Chains A and B, each alone.
Chain A
Amino acid sequence: MLIELKGVHKTYDNGQPLHVLKGIDLEIEKGEFVSIMGASGSGKSTLLNILGILDNYDEGEYHLAGKLIKNLSERESATYRNEMIGFVFQSFNLIGFKTAVENVELPLFYQGVSRHRRHEAAMAYLEKMGLTDWASHYPNEMSGGQKQRVAIARALITHPEIILADEPTGALDSKTSVEVMDLLTRLNREDGVTIIVVTHESGVANCADKIVHIKDGLIEKIEDNRQHHSSVFGADTIMK
């Protein structure tokens, strides 16, 4: 079991307490492609933050690859994030004054990998994303789809256990959205990368094999979607 959540609770305390997660139990196997769906305010972003070791939780247990992730120091959580998790954000979150290849290199820089080796690795991943020609371009010279592919390359470069994607298509048009989701699907199928996508778009969620529906801080249902008949892009859906 790669990911194991048991009775995870989270309460935000900004003035008045806000109980966001009310006992989440979730298990994800290695190599799965899971999407987490829910309306805004349902707690899916909080769940993603906890899965990504970006935030703490109050109660319960979270095991990632056998390690209990609880009350870690900043240093430990940074190291775990670096080694086990690759992030893909809605707004790409590339560093604007660095070129594509420098952005992809950055996680390895923080691992202390030598300059030459991390450059090679970054170029390999950019090639895989079909962006070799764009390696020395800055993010503001690239299209949204290209930026997201750079972000995916950056997420993959440390060979993480899981890729966490937070609304990966949120800032993309529908055509590019399909391309990005196809890319993620291919990574899952061909390379066996575990992918967790958080979204509120059913078309995006449909790419996954398993859809976790969250509502009001609880898991409403876990839908087996290996047939991908839930809803496809553009079909019987209101997306885009």
Chain B
Amino acid sequence: MRHRLDIDTFREIGDSLFRNKRRTILTGFGIFWGLFMLLFLVGGGQGLKQMLSMNFEGFATNTMVMISSNTSKPYKGMKEGRYWNMNTRDVQRLKALVPELDVVAPIVSMWSQTAYYQGNTAAPNVKGIAGDYHKIEEPILKYGRTISDADVEQVRKVCVLGKRIYNDLFPQGGNPCGEFIQVGSIFLQVIGVDVSSGNMNINGQSSDAVLVPYSLAAQLYHRGQNVDLICMSGKPGVKMSSLESRVRGIMAREHQFDPTDNLAMPLINTEQIFGIIDRLFRGVNFLIWLVGIGTLLAGAVGVSNIMMVTVRERTVEIGIRRAIGAVPRDILSQIIWESVALTLAAGSAGIVFSVLILNVVEALTKHQAVFQISFWTAIISALLLSVLGVLAGLAPALRAMKIKPVDAMRDE
């Protein structure tokens, strides 16, 4: 059997590609651009998704928040439009009746208070929380600790400052723990500073908050047993949406509203929010692949087209080769190799360029997210390119195979 895969096989390919440099470059550009677009968009999409996800940093993804609101349906002889209140008994009740719940944490807030410390003022929202609230919205503590169960039980006059409040009250910096600040009419001892900056928060941004025990907030603002809202998160593996109707049933029975009256007790399920974002990015990804693959295919069609022209131009050369002993398969493989070489070279340039640009993007965003494509994405794209090269070369190669040796003489 004749074997012909030696250096000269590749020199032949190089020769014919370099013979018309400008055309080769222009043809390759289609592939180059297609692959660059695809990988750049894939990397960019992934980076954007990560950057968006950072907004949910420190927030439990299976959290449900419920709020009391006016009823919208008449129930047991009571008219619609009646207002009801959640209270701390509901917290105990839910903990007892729904064992799948990990955390049931009430919040009692008071908006737009004024805080003072040594002539500095700030405008925080006072947010009364339970000892286990940190499991729902995780604080990033720069100093001290956060509110504990003991703080709640003993109604201690302590507080954790949000980042902006800390900066306003303590512009000189330093550890404020132990200091007393005035909020409204009372003095609270600072026990910690929370510098978390995630953008998903319950009842106001954490940077603008002064966190206190909810029992203290209830006392200060005369709420009695009532709370503003109750946050819940499930134990690992529990889907919050599956608990929704049970929670609603328990609350409806206790507060006497129609369990089918969704407006009486709006429930916000973060699982759904995350689901929406997930679907959004799946859609974006689909578009990315559609555009990327489309551009790439257009490039491949370009290669195929130019190879077709090349074959036509090289009729004599191919005829000579056939006359001196090239079998059709030699011609076929030569044209396909040329196509693969062109596609692969241009595509590799595209991979390198997109990696480069993604690196720049990553640097520009101060390395907040990973924009770079993975090594395997690059390898798979290279494989995909080879396949594309073969496909692009197929039609021209079949045409070249049909050239008869007599054509070499006829084409004079």
Contacts and interface: CB of A to CB of B under 8 A. Distances in A.
Interface in B1-27: 1-4, 6-8, 15-16, 19
Interface stretch (B38-46, B122-130, B315-323): B315-323
B364 interface: no
Contact of B325 (A49, A115, A158): A158
B15 A110 contact: no
Contact of A93 (B2, B19, B320, B329): B320
Classify the secondary structure of B's interface with A.
helix
A87 interface: yes
B136 to A, nearest CB: 73
A186 to B, nearest CB: 23
B3 A166 contact: no
B326 A78 contact: yes
Interface stretch (B255-263, B341-349, B351-359, B401-409): B401-409
* Interface magnitude class on chain A: 20 to 34
A19 interface: no
A40 to B, nearest CB: 14
A232 interface: no
Nearest to A89: B409
Contact of B8 (A89, A95, A115): A115
A127 interface: no
Interface string A92-118: 011111100000011101111011000
A78 B322 contact: yes
A92 to B, nearest CB: 10
A81 B323 contact: yes
B19 to A, nearest CB: 5
A52 B316 CA distance: 17
Given A91-B412, A110-B2, A166-B409, A154 B324 contact: yes
Contact of A87 (B1, B323, B328, B330): B323
A115 B6 contact: yes
A78 B327 contact: yes
A197 B362 CA distance: 72
Interface in A50-83: 52, 54-55, 74-75, 78-79, 81-83
Contacts of A74: 327-328
Interface in A153-191: 154, 158, 166
Contacts of B16: 97
Interface of A: 45, 49, 52, 54-55, 74-75, 78-79, 81-83, 87, 89-91, 93-98, 105-107, 109-112, 114-115, 154, 158, 166
13 contacts: A54-B405, A75-B329, A78-B328, A82-B325, A89-B408, A90-B409, A93-B408, A97-B19, A106-B321, A106-B324, A107-B324, A110-B321, A112-B4
Interface of B: 1-4, 6-8, 15-16, 19, 316-317, 320-330, 404-406, 408-409, 412
